[in-house]
Every structure is written in C-alpha cells, then in structure tokens.
Structure 1
Amino acid sequence: MTIRTLCRLPLIAVCLLLHACGGGSGNATTASPAAPAPSAASTPAPASAPVPASAPPAASNVVVQSATPNVQPIQVTRISTGTRNMLQTSVTLCVPGTNKCQTIDNIQVDTGSQGLRVLASALDPSIALPVVAGKAGSAGSAGSSVVAECAVFGSGYTWGAVRQADVRLAGQLASATSVQLIADLAVPAAATDCSQSGLPMLTASNLRGNGILGVGPFTADCGAGCAASAMPRWYYDCTSSACSATTVAVAQQVTNPVARFATDNNGVLIELPAVPPEGASTVAGTMTFGIGSQANNLLGSATVLKSNSITGYVSTNFGGSDYGSSFIDSGSNGLFFPSTTLPSCGVWYCPATTQTLNATLSSATGASAAVSFSVAKATTLLSSTNNAFSNLAGPASGYFDWGLPFFYGRRVFTALEGRATPAGNGPYYAF
C-alpha cells in the first residue's frame, strides 16, 4: 500500500506484502522495481513471490455457495493526521475459541498486502492473544522465545509479535489466525536491519490509523520463502533481549483473514461510489467477501485480468510504454505512475488544468481493459476540506500503481491465489 502527503518525500511506491522473497505476499520494503512492499503511511513499493498458505485446489470454476452475511462497511473520511484517500473499516479480534472480543476502528483496507496488523496500544490488555512460540534453541531455550515480524512498506515498517486471534468481519470468522501486534511489548525493539527500513509505523499517527487489513491476492504474507530460509526483514525469533532471523511455517505466518473463512473465501469485492472532480468529504462503500459465492458478489460483465502468480502484477500500457509491474492497491492514496508531461509539486502531480489520460491494463492471457482517468492539481485538491479524491496522482518510476482513486465508481474484485472462482483460479483482478 502507499500513502503520500505533501510534506513527505516518496520512497519507492508500491504495496506491502504483495510478494517477496520467493514465496508469499510480503513486506519487501527495498523491493526491486519488480516487486512491491507494504505501505500504510506513505509510498508503495513492490513485493515478491507468494505461496499459498494452504494447498490450492485443482483449477475449477465451481464455487461453493454461501448464505453467510458477507458485507463489511468501509469508508473514506477525515482522519486525525489529515491524510486523504484513506479507506478504513472496523475489525473484531477475539481470544481464539472465546467470546472475549474487541472491535477496533480505523483499520486501513489494503488490497496491496496480506494479513491483519493492529497496534498493541489499540487492544485492551484484557484481550490476551496467545503468541506464536519461537523455536527451541534459536533465540533462547525451549519455550522462551516468541516469533516477531518486520513488515516493510513503501512508507516505513511495522514491528511486533505474531499472535493468534479469531478475526471477525461481517458474518465471517477466521479462526486462530496469525496477526501482527504492532509495538507489542512481548518482543524487544525492532531488529537493526528492520529499523533501517524507513519510518517506524509503531504509533497511530505514523501508521495513520490503528492497523492495516491486508486483503490482497495471496494467502500468507511471505509464504514458502520464509518457511525455507531465515531472511532479514521478515520473521524473527525473539527472547526478552534479542532477536534473530528465523524460518516460520506458512501456516503460522501472518495470514490474509479472508483465506481462513469457511465460505466466501476466494476473494473480495470493493465497491465505492463515484466522487465529483473537486472530491467528497466522506464516502461510504462496501467490501463484500467471496466471488461468485452469493448473489451479491457475481462477476457479471467484469473484465478479468489474471495477475502474475508470483508477483501479483498485471501490465499497463501508458504513454506508449508498457509497465509490467502494475497492481491495483486500495492502500495507496493516489495513482502513482511515470509521466514526462505532467508537472509535479513534491510527491504529487500539479498540472495547471485537470488532465484526462488513457491507459490499457492487460494480463498475460491476452485480456485487456481500457481505462480513462483524470489528474488534477494536487495543491488545489489538498487545500480543500474534502478527503476523497478520484484525481489525485503522483510520480513513480518503472511501475504503475492504481491506488484508491481507481476504485471510485467501480466494482473491483481481487481474487485469491489458487482459489476457485467462476472465472477460474486466482490470483486476478476484475472490474
């Protein structure tokens, strides 16, 4: 995901936890131009290769039908930091197997990352979520270590223990799901290689909310890569005084909650109304779980763009150039792309008059969709009291990030890797 403000210089733009490190939708912050990283407060950055948290079913268009309530309210409104285009929702966390629960507001909805991350400061101490235990001997004696994670986004990093929770959204339940508790006192300060990854998003002001709900196209946030090798800036085995990089089984990694629903678990549909050129103060929409599993999440005439099974990327042709590192990311608060004609003002584009532009998104299967979009003068937009803009955009290098402005006035599907849908197995985007 990617969030920019006028006062903050961009890093590399992209989404956290698409996929990195050879397997999983991950947190590669310094991802090369071909891989996105997580971001909850600033710019996006590509990540790397995903691997399913569970064995994918055989290719199939047969989807199990569901009658479970599957619609989660989402909104864009003013937040305390003043950051615009922040799509948020509420999430209920429970001690596994109990009704000891807490609903936490101001959680960003991010199709550019995988997994739920919540500030420890937002969770009541009575909600004692069990930690994921570390390995015997790797960071201390058996039973004395805890698994922690460094999640790197384009705007900075989150750090905290991995704990298990029952996650409730709409009528759905993701049982005993691994989540990251940011700034959790159960682990020491961030490992050195993690703390060098930009802004420490360990407070509500730096994170621009109380957490991030990653509902991207993959199931686990790192996958097979982290299960096979102890990689820096991923998972750590921590005692009370020190942490060292470690491997973590896919089943214990921070997981996209949608992947653990009993039904409606093959993707999400985000629907937001269109906003006027000057923007809107508040926008209310819905996130519907499942694709083709109920009458309210049918694909209809949507164009399906299969994304790369490793990176989650599709391609964008814009201005005569092809950008193979393209992704659709509700966690980015603008459209970010290269332009040789649009003047910039810091991290945003500021054309004298609003420009209407055209691009074509495509996938390796040959499917394509033409998209018309507008770019307005960012300083004018951001000087208003509005919070939702469909024409806010900024420069990027070598990739095309279709951020939240793309979602206004559209039905946008994100299909999970290896899960059957009426259009075949994910991952893919459709709109």
Structure 2
Amino acid sequence: MNARLCLLAGALATALVACGGGGSGGTSSAAAPASASAASGSAASSGSATSSGSSGASSTSGTSSTSTASNTGSVAQSTTPNVLSIAVASTPTSTRNMLMASVTVCVPGTSTCATVDNVQVDTGSQGLRLLASALPAGFALPVVTAGSGTDPAGSCAAFGSGYTWGAVRSADVKLAGEVAAALPIQLIADPSVPTIPSVCKGFGLAMINSTALRSNGILGVGPFGADCGASCVNQPNSSWYYACPSGNCTPSAQPLAQQVSNPVAAFATDNNGVVIDLPAISSTGSSTVSGSLIFGIGSQANNTLGGATVLRGNSVTGFVSTTTSDGTVYSQSYIDSGSNGFFFANTTLTRCGVWFCPSSPQSLGATLKGVDGVTAAASLSVASATTLFATGNWAFNNLAGYNGSAFGWGLPFFFGRRVYTAIEAQTTPAGAGPFYAF
C-alpha cells in the first residue's frame, strides 16, 4: 500500500483529495487501488480531506507473515527514549485532523542536521518523504543510486490524494532517541530530478509543495519495511523507481536496501512497530490535541500490548475487513492515521461534497476482522462536516466522508485509544506483523 494521504479541504469540499488506504511499502506495487477511493472534484479550503496513503495496498518486502502468530517470542528490551511528541493543530491549508511531528535528518555519520516541523504521521505508508524546500539551503544529503548502477535514483509514490516525486537520498533519521542510520528517504521536488515521468503524472495531483502536500513531508510508519518491496527488486517498475543520469529518468529496478524505507524497522531496538496514543476529545472537536508516537511493541514498559485485541492484516496489502451494522462487508479496510476522517460508502447519510453532513449526529456500529478470523467491535459517530468546520476547531472524532470501495478508519478512530501497528516479519509478543491492535 502506498502512503495514504486523504486530505479534503472544507465544509463545502467536493473532492476527496485522498483518503486512506494502502501504505507505501511492500512487495506488490499493484496492490489495493488507491486505498480509499478518491472522489473527483475540487476541495474547498476549510476542511480538506486527507489520506496520506499511496495508491494501492502496501506490499511486503518479501518475508511477509501469514495468519499464524509466527515470530512470537522474546522481544529485545530497550532503554532508548522512544516517545515522539505528536499533535493536531491549525494548518496553513486549513486541513482538519492532520497529525504532525518534527523529524530530524542528518548527513549520515555527521552532526550536520536539520529539523523539519509539520511532517504528517502516517501509519498507512512506509518511508520518510520530505520536501526539498523544507531543508536549509545547501543541506546536501548523499545520493542513493538506482539498481546496481551508479545513476542517481528517482522515486515516484502514488497516494490517494496524488503523488510525490523526487530523488532518493540517504540520511540519518532521528526520532526521539531512536536513529535509523543511512536510511533511504525521498526528497520531494529535489532539483536534481526536475522532470516528472509521465507515469507518475498519471497519479493525479502533484504533491510537490507544501500547499498540495498540506505538510512539509510524510513520516510513513506503517506495517511494512519498504515502499515497493520485492516487486521492484528484479525488474523496472515505472510506478516506483527510476535511474536518473543528468536528470533524465528511465524506469529501474531497485534493491530493497536502496528503497525508501520505514525508519522504525531500521532502528537498532524498538523496531517492530509503533503505538499512537491520543486523548479522547469531545463531539464538537478540539482546537489542539497533543499525544505520543511510541516506538516498539513489547520492548519497553510504555508499549506493552496489555489486553489489546490483535487484528492480523493481509500479508501483501495489510488490509483487514470491516462489516457495518447494515450488513455491508468491506474486504478492504485499514486503520490509518494519515486519513483525516472515517471513509466508507453510505447511501442514507446526507453528503456535502465528499463529506457526510447528516442533519443530526448518527451512530454506526461495525466489526473489524483480521485475516485469522479474530474480530473486534467498534462504533463511530458521524456529525455534519459543515457544523464541525464552523466551530473553528482542528481535531474531530466524528468527521467522515464517502469512499466507494474501502472502509477507512482514519484519525478520528485514534482519539481516546492506543492503536498499535506492527511491522511485517518483526518479532512481537503477539507474533509477527502486519497487524493492528487496539
């Protein structure tokens, strides 16, 4: 699944610029379709629907888990500071429910570092993607080469909202006390690769500036290790990687070690997943919300699973399924901090553009099911988007919009819960990922 970036603009928004879905990472590039379908139209400025997920389901990097609890066992314990502050607050693009963090990148092996603020935290994609313009002038990160050659690598990542294009660079990524050393990242709109390939342009909106991306980057901490995975290793894949000598790019294969990768999986410890911990908020929303992105599952006292229900995801796409109280079954369902609302199909709820705007708040029931048959009940409330946006608040637990092909449990699902995302093939107390737990 590629990163999900579901950003819908406002009270009168008519388009779902992106809504949840696969994450960038995995073995199959074809995976699920733009995880969370995006409706056509233009987004208004006050609400902006977002889905930080790339189009398609995230594929695995080759050693995907099955529905059995493999890799269950003792998890290496850590004393590394593993909590990164995250927050939802106002944004320059007036996009609601944008979960942001600050990320530090360094020239590998040096103390030459830069901290980039307003980077969206996305459990629906894999890899760090930063706007080149968000780094200081002259801040030079080493080139990552394409394939087995010496040409610089270019990277395309398709999201429900559009696409990012840029160069692959190497950086030491520092999050709290954790370090992913010499990690391949995507530098969006890197001037070294000025020409966007036609295949990449076909994914819609060019999210190559802070206005279109609605942030300074995407921190993809989803359930897979790399953004394309095995399907890019042995043959060129024009949806993903390019060799770019002198800025002229042609499709290229890309070894796993040179793909844009999940920084968490590259940590020395606390590397088997993440926990997002956000407080509950009221039905009218909140102007600001602060919480924690905790690295590791079962590796420290602050990330134990406790009594959380584990829902195992499809080993290629990461999807679970959702059955709603009206009997509708969504075989493609995801839990995604990069989508700014709940997204699903419903013919009875009044719509204002892509958002739902019922005359009074509606409560819906649902059951999520993992690929091994384990289920968990969940409920959601849907309020009128126009009413919510009029409050002037920025965080909502009852914002929802239309998605005709999948059920997205976006950021509203995270408020008042600890939500775990486990990475493929990594040992956890509950078995290997990919799985979600709450």
TM-score bracket relative to the smaller structure? over 0.9
Q: Does 1:298 align with 2:308?
A: no
- The aligned counterpart of 2:291 is 285
Q: What does 1:20-419 correspond to in 2, within 5 Å?
A: 23=27, 33=33, 42-43=50-51, 46-52=55-61, 59-134=71-146, 143=150, 145-318=151-324, 319-419=326-426
> Are the equivalent residues in 1 in contact too, given 2:20–2:50 (CA < 8 A)?
no
Amino acid across the alignment from 2:428: T
- Which residue, 414, 418, 431 being the options, matches 1:424? 431
Write the deviation string for residues 365-414 of structure 1: whole angstroms up to 9, x where unpaired.
12111111100000111122100000000011121000000000000000
Deviates more, 1:50-59 or 1:375-384: 50-59
CA-CA distance at 1:35 after TM superposition: 5.4
> Are the equivalent residues in 2 in contact too, given 1:90–1:107 (CA < 8 A)?
yes
Amino acid across the alignment from 1:81: T
> Are the equivalent residues in 1 in contact too, given 2:64–2:424 (CA < 8 A)?
no
**TM-score, length of structure 2 as denominator length:** 0.91
> Are the equivalent residues in 2 in contact too, given 1:75–1:285 (CA < 8 A)?
yes
> Are the equivalent residues in 1 in contact too, given 2:273–2:297 (CA < 8 A)?
yes
Cα 1:339–1:312, aligned 2, differ >3 Å: closer, same or farther?
A: same
Write the deviation string for residues 123-146 of structure 1: whole angstroms up to 9, x where unpaired.
11342110112357xxxxx64x21
Provide the C-alpha distance between the structure 1 equivalents of 2:334 and 2:169, rounded to a whole number of angstroms. Answer: 29
Q: CA RMSD of the aligned region, Å?
A: 2.2
Provide the C-alpha distance between the structure 1 equivalents of 2:411 and 2:283, rounded to a whole number of angstroms. Answer: 15
When the two structures are aligned, how many residues end up with a matched partner?
418
Query: Sequence identity of aligned pairs in percent?
Result: 53
The 3-state SS of whatever aligns with 2:8 is coil
The 3-state SS of whatever aligns with 2:139 is coil
Q: Which runs of 5+ in 2 are unaligned?
A: 39-47
> Are the equivalent residues in 2 in contact too, given 1:236–1:246 (CA < 8 A)?
yes
> Are the equivalent residues in 2 in contact too, given 1:17–1:222 (CA < 8 A)?
no
CA-CA distance at 1:19 after TM superposition: 5.0
Deviates more, 1:368-377 or 1:125-134: 125-134
Provide the C-alpha distance between the structure 2 equivalents of 1:55 and 1:346, rounded to a whole number of angstroms. Answer: 39
> Are the equivalent residues in 1 in contact too, given 2:154–2:244 (CA < 8 A)?
yes
Deviates more, 1:377-386 or 1:164-173: 377-386
Provide the C-alpha distance between the structure 2 equivalents of 1:321 and 1:190, rounded to a whole number of angstroms. Answer: 40
Write the deviation string for residues 56-87 of structure 1: whole angstroms up to 9, x where unpaired.
89722210000110000000000111100000
**TM-score, length of structure 1 as denominator length:** 0.92
Provide the C-alpha distance between the structure 2 equivalents of 1:159 and 1:378, rounded to a whole number of angstroms. Answer: 32
Cα 1:41–1:93, aligned 2, differ >3 Å: closer, same or farther?
A: farther
Deviates more, 1:126-135 or 1:104-113: 126-135
CA-CA distance at 1:324 after TM superposition: 1.0
CA-CA distance at 1:187 after TM superposition: 1.2
The 3-state SS of whatever aligns with 2:180 is strand
Q: Does 1:3 align with 2:7?
A: yes
Provide the C-alpha distance between the structure 2 equivalents of 1:183 and 1:71, rounded to a whole number of angstroms. Answer: 30
Provide the C-alpha distance between the structure 2 equivalents of 1:110 and 1:34, rounded to a whole number of angstroms. Answer: 15
Amino acid across the alignment from 1:164: S
Provide the C-alpha distance between the structure 1 equivalents of 2:410 and 2:365, rounded to a whole number of angstroms. Answer: 16
Provide the C-alpha distance between the structure 1 equivalents of 2:101 and 2:18, rounded to a whole number of angstroms. Answer: 26
CA-CA distance at 1:47 after TM superposition: 1.8
> Are the equivalent residues in 2 in contact too, given 1:45–1:153 (CA < 8 A)?
yes
> Are the equivalent residues in 2 in contact too, given 1:333–1:403 (CA < 8 A)?
yes
Provide the C-alpha distance between the structure 2 equivalents of 1:63 and 1:135, rounded to a whole number of angstroms. Answer: 34
Write the deviation string for residues 337-389 of structure 1: whole angstroms up to 9, x where unpaired.
01121111101000000001100001121211111110000011112210000
Write the deviation string for residues 231-271 of structure 1: whole angstroms up to 9, x where unpaired.
12210111224211110001110000000000000000000
Provide the C-alpha distance between the structure 1 equivalents of 2:431 and 2:301, rounded to a whole number of angstroms. Answer: 18
Cα 1:360–1:69, aligned 2, differ >3 Å: closer, same or farther?
A: same
> Are the equivalent residues in 1 in contact too, given 2:49–2:341 (CA < 8 A)?
no
Cα 1:33–1:47, aligned 2, differ >3 Å: closer, same or farther?
A: closer
Cα 1:250–1:349, aligned 2, differ >3 Å: closer, same or farther?
A: same
Provide the C-alpha distance between the structure 2 equivalents of 1:41 and 1:347, rounded to a whole number of angstroms. Answer: 8
Amino acid across the alignment from 2:412: P
CA-CA distance at 1:12 after TM superposition: 6.7
- TM superposition outliers: structure 1 runs of 4+ over 4 Å: 31-38, 43-46, 53-58
> Are the equivalent residues in 1 in contact too, given 2:20–2:410 (CA < 8 A)?
no
Q: Which runs of 5+ in 1 are unaligned?
A: 137-141
Cα 1:182–1:53, aligned 2, differ >3 Å: closer, same or farther?
A: farther
Provide the C-alpha distance between the structure 2 equivalents of 1:281 and 1:147, rounded to a whole number of angstroms. Answer: 41
Provide the C-alpha distance between the structure 2 equivalents of 1:400 and 1:337, rounded to a whole number of angstroms. Answer: 5
Cα 1:8–1:235, aligned 2, differ >3 Å: closer, same or farther?
A: farther
> Are the equivalent residues in 2 in contact too, given 1:349–1:375 (CA < 8 A)?
yes
